[in-house]
Amino acid sequence: MGRYLIARLFQGILVVLLISLITFIIVRLIPGDPVDLLLGEGQVPITEAQVEAIRRQWGLDRPLWEQYLTWMGKMLTGNFGTSIIRTGVPVNRMIWEAVPVTALLNLLALGIAIAVAIPAGIIAGARRNSWFDYLLTGGSTLGIALPNFWLGLMLIVVFGVMLRWLPPFGLRSWQGYILPVVVLATEQMAMLARVMRGAMIEILNQDYIKTARSKGLSDRAILFGHAVPNALLPVVTVIGFRIAFLLSGTIIIESVFALPGIGRLLYDSVFRLDYQVAQAIVMVLSILVVVVNLLTDLTYAAIDPRLRLLARSR
């Protein structure tokens, strides 16, 4: 187990290093000059000295390899540098301010999705072809198919404009979270419910369920003693996957509802060639994915005896 852990850890570090290099290159492959964006469109005299000074200030005049090493060096000390567009603001602070918004949004959505989708998926799977099952299958197909920006705009129109119950945008009060959370939860709910239902149906057809039934166990005991715990495994995997992507995947929703989260920060920084910010966000997100993957694998190894054996035999 110890060697396995070290090997996985080493693997993780290698992946992060590789990602850092790829990120650095890709961000710089976006054509364009950040200085253009800094100077704006207005017709005012601009001198060469001025352009060069700005370039120097942001280290854009240095060779690429040097820029990369400088960035990596700083990053090892936990410093992501400063934003070019939001002149001089530390990237760390920008990320720290944006993370809670996105994290809260996603955690609330995921929480609601789990609370609704798992019982619904269990019932639909257990009562296959019932009216409830049809409702859930139909509803979840719709929930996955609806583009979330469209759903967001519709909710704004209905609850923000027509009924005026909720603020149409922004986070000036806690009510600002309601509509975006509903939109995000809808999509995740639909997905989780489908996975749960599918897993239930599959498990309920297994031989050991038939055995349990022929032993004379009650439906209730079969359902909660055998079927549900086993059917939960794939659902847990999906939830783990969602947690890994907790901070991404809300780019569009954050723009629609004007929320200052990490998704919008990433989107803006890519479009405004704010290299430091874009790089930092991609790094933070990928480190998060690597860490969560590592933890998931280790948890599996701890839970599943077969994986544990495999690890030991290595």
103 and 91 in contact (C-beta within 8 Å)?
A: no
Binding of other proteins at residue 125 (CB under 8 A)? no
Q: How many CB atoms lie within 10 A of CB 311?
A: 18
Binding of other proteins at residue 250 (CB under 8 A)? no
Distance between CA 256 and CA 260 in Å, rounded? Answer: 11
Binding of other proteins at residue 258 (CB under 8 A)? yes
Binding of other proteins at residue 253 (CB under 8 A)? no
User: In the complex with other proteins, which residue's Cβ is closer, 145 or 161?
Assistant: 161
Binding of other proteins at residue 66 (CB under 8 A)? no
Binding of other proteins at residue 311 (CB under 8 A)? no
User: In the complex with other proteins, which residue's Cβ is closer, 47 or 214?
Assistant: 47
Binding of other proteins at residue 103 (CB under 8 A)? no
Q: Which of 6, 72, 107, 157 binds other proteins (CB under 8 A)?
A: 157
Distance between CA 268 and CA 102 in Å, rounded? Answer: 15
User: In the complex with other proteins, which residue's Cβ is closer, 97 or 297?
Assistant: 97
Buried b (16+ CB within 10 A) or exposed e, 7-24: ebeeeeeebeeebbeebb
Written as one letter, the residue type at 35 is V
Q: Which of 256, 281, 289, 301 binds other proteins (CB under 8 A)?
A: 256
Binding of other proteins at residue 61 (CB under 8 A)? no
Question: Which residues from 20-39 bind other proteins, rule CB under 8 A?
Answer: 30-33, 36-39
Q: Supply the minimum distance, in Å, between the C-beta of residue 118 and other proteins.
A: 33
User: In the complex with other proteins, which residue's Cβ is closer, 34 or 125?
Assistant: 34
Binding of other proteins at residue 52 (CB under 8 A)? yes
Backbone conformation region of residue 217, classed left if phi is above 0, alpha if psi is from -120 to 50, else beta: beta
Q: Supply the minimum distance, in Å, between the C-beta of residue 32 and other proteins.
A: 2
Binding of other proteins at residue 13 (CB under 8 A)? no
* Residue in this structure with the two tokens 């400063």, named with its chain if needed: 82
Binding of other proteins at residue 50 (CB under 8 A)? yes
Distance between CA 304 and CA 293 in Å, rounded? Answer: 16
User: In the complex with other proteins, which residue's Cβ is closer, 103 or 238?
Assistant: 103
Q: Supply the minimum distance, in Å, between the C-beta of residue 11 and other proteins.
A: 35
Q: How many CA atoms does the CB half-sphere of 312 hold within 13 Å? A: 7
Binding of other proteins at residue 168 (CB under 8 A)? yes
Q: Which of 11, 57, 130, 211 binds other proteins (CB under 8 A)?
A: 57
Q: What are the tokens at 219?
A: 């439906």
Distance between CA 8 and CA 13 in Å, rounded? Answer: 9
Binding of other proteins at residue 169 (CB under 8 A)? yes
Q: Residue ranges of the alpha helices (H) in the chain?
A: 2-29, 34-39, 48-57, 64-76, 91-126, 131-145, 148-155, 178-204, 207-214, 219-221, 228-244, 251-256, 262-271, 275-303, 305-313
User: In the complex with other proteins, which residue's Cβ is closer, 144 or 258?
Assistant: 258
Q: Which of 194, 226, 242, 264 binds other proteins (CB under 8 A)?
A: 264
Residue 84 phi, psi (nearest 5):
-80, -45
Q: What is the size of the binding site for other proteins (CB under 8 A)? A: 53
Nearest to 58 by CA among 281, 277, 283: 277
Note the residues at the interface with other proteins (CB under 8 A): 30-33, 36-47, 49-54, 57, 83, 85-89, 97-98, 153, 156-157, 160-161, 164, 167-172, 255-258, 260, 264-265, 268, 271, 273
